[in-house]
A and B are shown apart, each in its own frame.
Chain A
């Protein structure tokens, strides 16, 4: 009886609380990526944002086993191409080494020069066999390496010649020299040709190097200790005990999380992950790859063991001690990190999916994983002949593993040998080094590891872009404000809109364009007239409090209902076909009767995508909704998704309108026509479609937000309220919302029937300008598509992008935000007429309208920094190591559980972006260029911890544009320093097309237009 009373505080229970916490905290490292159909851009290493950027990269790369940087060869190629400059490398090294840069190494060279040489020249390294082959079969010992300068070659030859003539022929000569001279025919030394001397010098150098490093020990860096049993077994024997575990767990987790792909869903799902697993796998329904599993499941079920107790039991049986437990649990999550993280996402954000998972599912997942791990490892070890208890297994494997034989003196000597040639260290000089000197030299070389080199390269790579763009911003003369503004167009900050705005300004010099986060300050749950569900239209960090629905205009209500019925019928029928196609008997009838006809739509879709799409579009027009309007105004005090709860009060509308107009500095400057253009992307056959939509709308199109804002600002009552707050909207101003389709460059404007008659001519002028601009924009985009010829006209380019979007076989309907690198927050006058190559996010902000605390700027940055950082870093990591951080190539992707994609038949869920979406992205951190003063920026950073942390830890780079002059300050190591531009002038071209025509690669920034 006493046991029951004590249970409350029993050690076992305390232990399971700790274990629960340990699993939860281990799970924090998992990538934060939710369901694929609402793609949210986030920093892949969000969990490490409290660390400085480069440190976090190393830690993350270590943890996940991915690359921290691009491969060294890539950077070296960029160095050859001129994308990275030697001066930048030197500068980065100087910054990193500071006073140590001039430290001499054995009197041979400085640390700086040594490291620079190691960056500049590719030092071959390899296993013993490769090295032997290289020395024997190539000219490495006959002629100096091609990188060696002529002067160093002559120096090497003449010095060695002198050394040999004077010393090596004497009695004190080392053994190798005697043999070498004998082999080269020492008696005829006076008549050796130069080539022979060169070979002799190299042989001598090689021997000296070999001699020098011969007796030095290995200074290997501590390798991370493998603690998972399966991992150790694989290292020792090559047999993978994880394989059957992953197979079973992938299938089961897929079934548990399935949102409706399979026709038969998991029985007993409601019992939770652990219980339903036990129940299912305790069945005697055929053999399993892990034979003991069924019996074990039955035992756990019969004894009613909780997930945490089972996990604790497995850990105990595996012999995992308390101190290594956190690390062990983390490593246990990693083999199926995609599935684990999806489980966690669904558990935490159940509102984003139809079938949420109960709390604690991840803990149960770990319990199951540990159970499977333990059984599989035991079975595998047994099969491999390790007949020891499971908790002793790791010691036994480690004892039997062969010691690390990577280290090889010749490989080490070979590095010195190559460096000696490019740096001009002659053999005589090296031969004079004492063993301590050799140790210093080798340590010095080996301290600059491959990762260090990649880091330096990467910094130089980023700096080059920073310098180019800041130079351009300094050199560019702000354009004078447009005297007469014909209309204003507000776009999303998205980098894709940069080119569109530029072209619009080129087409219509009297236009004024602005940028704002694409939800336009209207965070809503939105349901379109033909939608079944509400979509969340705002950044992921914001939780909407209002609902908006689209409905047919009253006079069309009847048509709307009829068409809805037609759509319902169509939907039911196609769903039936869909189901029938996948089931047996109906499928047989279907294939035998109409199957051969399926060839026709397939051939037309594949061979003539654009025409097929047109016909489908025409047909769809009869089933689409009639003219609609937004239900925007709320009569009930409480917001909600139904009836009178839908919408905003007039007061709330005024608040939203005021904030937006003040944010982008439009107060008092409104023209007769103001367009708000959200954006989205329409494309086919693409599981990652959502990643092309608006990032500020959580991966949905932002048209409804623009439409809602325009309606609010057109409302007389809102205008009256605003006038009372000093925001005067002239009666002559009319707002129109719209949507820019970034795949086809099509522009749709909403509620045109409500445009006053007096504005007709303004509207037609604006549409004409937009029409011209979209052709030009498509043309600029086509330069990036290798399947689009470079000599297209604007009209052909439009046809090309339309065809792309409708092509089932197209894996790159567009390139999204690939190549984004920078974000400018400031007045457009600063950048108007500057070709930014679609690489910059742009938010409008007028510092002259802000107060000394930067209230407006603070709230702009609150959204912009987080959204743009998320996009930038998601691209960054996916491009850095596409197979590791990214989703790899999309060609074998397989939609799973309606939540994500796997590679092929079964794999971990792939997170990140596919290779096809990031292939042209340059992974560099976001450069924020903000038009403000250091004082204001400091105040904002003091107020907003999230922003401060990102900037101080270097996840985004910061530059300030002085509002009064063209000066720029950059933020380095916690301080703002004056930026000294290198180039004083900018290249220029008459139009954007003149600048980019004929080029597929990234382009430098340039001045466009008549001022050129």
Chain B
């Protein structure tokens, strides 16, 4: 007879392993270029995601029943150097933060999975969609259950990878590839910040385990053992990571671009889960915010600025997906601000509620015309739309332009950040080529020609 704690561990492990098995199965089939039939794909996906969900529901019941605040489960000790107090471990945690978030992810993934089965029917990329979808599910479950920063980073990466590939899902047009690349680059910046934070943490404490870093107490009662400045430093890095993932200022421009993919992936990624991952990270790391007032203030400012920009932008968007994207962003900004203000449960409830509501709205987006028609019939006339009355006439054109161009964030990033970097690299490349040409004697003669050619182009 196993004791309840072993049961709990087993269920937690099943919840994580089921999506991993799913990725393994679909990935192997993909490697051997043997995609199964639509029916088979669906069955495999739904069974394994369903298993994970059931295990997690069981785990939640047990945890609540046992009145346990948290349970940390160590899966693998990857690297362990006892003498220098340095170790990497793969650990998951079941607590009042990870369980709701993981449950939300899985419930939405099961529902959207079923939706996509019919929505993607007969699309040439049907299998590819579900392969990437399962990578996403694994990423979400891993990130939400993670108990060490390395584990979290792993899940975080999988989510980013599958997002970018699904944005570029339609390979026959240039726009999805272009926008997928843009999102990918923003994600890299966020990932770099997270990775840096992990390295810094290791440097400071010798390990990335949350229970050491954020205190033994269960979330949200943890107290970090970093000092104020350390907390601020790590916290800023984490804030950058969260801003990239959750499309906060100045990265907001990627969110509407992410709407290139099929409707179900847009719904679950950018309406519900992926976009909240940054907020989740901040919640997980909230003891750091408690430790540093400047960090908390920074978080509030970032959140509110995002709210301001995105509510303005949301009100002028004339296509439903961009309008929903910016509306989501406004809520995410608000959630981040709530976290910065020191709330813990409120943002969590807000997050879960918002994700559910928004997914439904995204799924219904194609039915917008019918909905408007029905509402108009019920009301007996045109629906009142304009809110311009609320804005002073003199500021209208300025604000509208600002909102329509989405605060010019993408243009600024492009011209002030991307262009200087690419120009620098191009200059280095030219220098490099000239140098390598010089080092080869027989190439010396061609240098003059190359030079000439370069001048011409």
Residues of A at the B interface (CB closer than 8 Å) are 36-37, 251-252, 254-255, 257-258, 260-268, 279-281, 283-289, 354, 385, 400, 530-533, 564, 567-568, 570-572, 574-575, 578, 581-584, 587-588, 590-599, 601-603, 606-607, 684-687, 689, 786-787, 807-812, 883, 889-898, 902-907, 916, 919
Contact = CB atoms under 8 A, between A and B. Distances in A.
B331 A891 contact: no
B349 A570 contact: no
Given A903-B173, A905-B321, A892 B260 contact: yes
Interface string B40-74: 00000000000000000000000000000000000
A280 B261 contact: no
Contact of A587 (B118, B175, B327, B403): B327
Given A568-B379, A572-B379, A786-B121, A265 B385 contact: yes
Interface in B386-430: 386-388, 391, 396-405, 407-408, 411-412, 414-415
Interface string B340-366: 000000100110111111111101111
B83 interface: no
B334 A588 contact: yes
B367 A286 contact: no
A890 B366 CA distance: 10
Contacts of B383: 260, 575
A281 B401 CA distance: 7
A603 B368 CA distance: 19
Q: How large is the interface on B (under 10, 10 to 19, 20 to 34, 35 or more residues)?
A: 35 or more
Contacts of B172: 883
Given A567-B377, A601-B360, 9 more contacts: A252-B404, A258-B318, A287-B412, A594-B353, A597-B356, A892-B261, A894-B321, A898-B372, A916-B122
Contacts of B386: 263-265
Nearest to A804: B118
B34 interface: no
A420 B212 CA distance: 79
B297 interface: no
Contact of B367 (A531, A808, A898): A808
Nearest to A593: B353
Interface in B283-330: 307, 310-311, 314-324, 327, 330
Interface of B: 107-108, 111-112, 114-123, 170, 172-173, 175-176, 179, 256-264, 307, 310-311, 314-324, 327, 330-331, 334, 346, 349-350, 352-361, 363-383, 385-388, 391, 396-405, 407-408, 411-412, 414-415, 456-457
The 4 A-B residue pairs with the shortest CB-CB distance, nearest first, are A595-B353, A571-B378, A286-B408, A904-B260
B114 A606 contact: yes
Most buried by B among A571, A574, A598, A904: A904
Contact of B357 (A36, A532, A581, A890): A581
Contacts of B385: 260-263, 265
A582 B372 CA distance: 15
A531 B372 contact: no
A602 B360 contact: yes
B411 A808 contact: no
B422 to A, nearest CB: 12
B456 A400 contact: yes
A255 B380 contact: no
A889 B354 contact: no
B334 A584 contact: yes
Contact of B397 (A279, A812, A883): A279
A380 to B, nearest CB: 13
Given A37-B373, A568-B378, A687-B369, A286 B407 contact: yes
26 contacts: A36-B369, A37-B373, A251-B405, A262-B323, A266-B400, A279-B397, A532-B381, A571-B376, A581-B358, A582-B327, A584-B311, A596-B349, A607-B114, A685-B364, A687-B366, A786-B122, A808-B364, A889-B123, A890-B366, A892-B262, A894-B320, A897-B319, A898-B368, A903-B173, A904-B170, A905-B319
A889 B421 CA distance: 37
Most buried by B among A385, A533, A809: A809
A266 B366 CA distance: 24
Contacts of B352: 595-596
Given A280-B404, A811-B119, A584 B375 contact: no
A587 B330 contact: yes
Contacts of A284: 398
Nearest to B324: A582
Contacts of B317: 261-262
A340 B72 CA distance: 60
Given A582-B324, A587-B327, A601-B360, A894 B370 contact: no
A582 B314 contact: yes
Contacts of A903: 170, 173, 175, 260
B262 A891 contact: yes
A530 B264 CA distance: 33
A905 B388 contact: no
Contacts of A883: 172-173
A385 B455 CA distance: 9
A400 B456 CA distance: 9
A854 B353 CA distance: 68
Nearest to A603: B111
Most buried by A among B264, B361, B370, B456: B370
A808 B114 CA distance: 11
Given A582-B314, A898-B372, A592 B350 contact: yes
A895 B356 contact: no
Most buried by B among A252, A286, A891, A897: A891
